[in-house]
A and B are shown apart, each in its own frame.
Chain A
Amino acid sequence: MVVKVISANQAVSNAVKLAKPQVIPVYPITPQTSISEYLAKFVADGELDAEFIRVESEHSAISAAIGASGTGVRVFTATASQGLALMHEILFAAAGLRNPIVMANANRSLAAPLSIWNDHQDSISQRDTGWMQIYAENGQEALDSILRSYKISENSDILLPSMVCLDGFILTHTVEPVDIPSQELVDNFLTEYKAHESYLDPQDPRSLGTFTDPNYYMEARYQIQVAMEKSRKVIEKVNQEFKEIFGREYGFIEEYHCDDAEIILVAMGSLCSTIKDVVDELRSRGEKVGLLKLISFRPFPKKEIANAVKDADKIAVLDKNISFGMGGAVYTEIKANIDVEAYGFILGLGGRDITPVHIEDIVNKTKNPTQDITWIGLKEEI
């Protein structure tokens, strides 16, 4: 075990080095760029034996990732924002072809207006592509999530790609202590990659990515849903194994003072660290407030959320994304699945700061609600 003070992008890069993918097609984009730089350096220095493909776009990056995965090797790529949007078409193909690709997404807003700063609109907009999505709160979680994702994605019952989402700049460019596990431990957890089913083998020829008529398409799509449902058990098992080997515990959600909480805030990513501070502060003043951190957005852990909020009076769902004409994605999914009095809050779009004052404001607005969905931190004068 080596604890280093590094950024989440460095943490991700170190996780990738430990996972030893054989092909890495990446196109640099802010705030992901340093991931591609660190990985290029690892490869150039001989620390990582991989084919680093300098592709001409994100569309090519994910296409090359599919091609490489189709030869039966472990693959990694990374992107952000507009790059993820450009991948959109091929993200469906990666899931449909059942390629267990792992990708890091440095969460950044989408144009227009053009912005390089953080929100979750880019990855939330890809929720229906068939990729699993994990949201990291800090650099350690980003590193651990890459390792966990490979293990989950490559399970022969799953074979679906995974996206590890880390908040742009807030995590990607902020340094903090991160435990980088030894290669030996990682090798124990993540054994050598063995491709299943959807890859080309000259000894056992098959066709991938063929045209299908209406007799076959629906079954192939149904299989993705089945795999996504099966992944719940696999994720639990992988988390247990991860805990045994590395000593760190993960679930679909993390409950922070939820047990006796009257109001529970629900959020994803780095924002949860701010909320934990506010929960501590409010609890010191006798207010029964808790945080439910959503780690796995796909598959969506409705059972775990329902269980965590069952004794709460109300919940506040904080979304760094918006489905226009409806509301934040996490809010609307919770409203659709869980019987609880819930209020939605849209905040932090395009890097708008979220301070403890905003979080307290949300708690107060949840106590005395005036509307279902409230935008937090908006400037009234514009």
Chain B
Amino acid sequence: MDSIGGTVKEPGSTRKNKTGSWRTFRPVLDLEKCIDCDNCILFCPEGCINKDYDIDFDYCKGCGICEVECPVKAIKMERE
């Protein structure tokens, strides 16, 4: 073990702390319905959706805000 007492020796440890395992429901985006409004990108509290609408499942906790904010119901939350 290279750390004693929980000491963090280099910056960026949060990146190693994958929180996607907390998810119960995962957002599934139907690109056919998507109108590129970017609401999901703007409302995602974790910044997990990029400009190409790729969802980062390492950190997406499945909160479902994207589903609620999507004006054309292109995102459906599905059980993991």
Contacts and interface: CB of A to CB of B under 8 A. Distances in A.
A210 B13 contact: yes
Contacts of A207: 7-8, 13
A210 B8 CA distance: 8
Contact of A223 (B1, B8, B9): B1
Interface string A158-180: 01000000000000000000000
Contacts, number: 45
Given A210-B13, A215-B17, A159 B6 contact: no
A209 B6 CA distance: 7
Nearest to B4: A197
Given A213-B17, A215-B17, A159 B9 contact: no
B interface, by DSSP: helix, strand, loop or mixed? loop
B5 A198 contact: yes
B17 A97 contact: no
Interface string A193-227: 00011100000101111101101110110010000
Contact of A212 (B4, B6, B9, B19): B6
Counting chain A CB atoms within 10 Å of each CB, the highest count among B5, B7, B17 belongs to B5
Contacts of A219: 1
Contact of B6 (A97, A99, A204): A97
A242 B4 CA distance: 28
Interface string B17-57: 10100000000000000000000000000000000000000
A98 interface: yes
Contacts of A212: 6
A208 B7 contact: yes
Interface string A98-126: 11000000000000000000000000000
B22 to A, nearest CB: 10
B17 A96 contact: no
Contacts of B5: 96-99, 159, 197-198, 208, 220, 223
Nearest to A98: B5
Contacts of B13: 207, 210
Contacts of B1: 219, 223
B11 to A, nearest CB: 8
Contacts of A198: 4-5, 7
Contact of A216 (B4, B6, B10, B19): B6
Contacts of B19: 213
A260 B9 CA distance: 55
A249 B32 CA distance: 82
A215 B17 CA distance: 8
Contacts of B4: 98, 159, 196-198, 223
8 nearest A-B pairs in the assembled complex, by CB-CB distance: A98-B5, A207-B8, A198-B5, A197-B4, A220-B6, A206-B9, A97-B5, A98-B4
Interface of A: 96-99, 159, 196-198, 204, 206-210, 212-213, 215-217, 219-220, 223
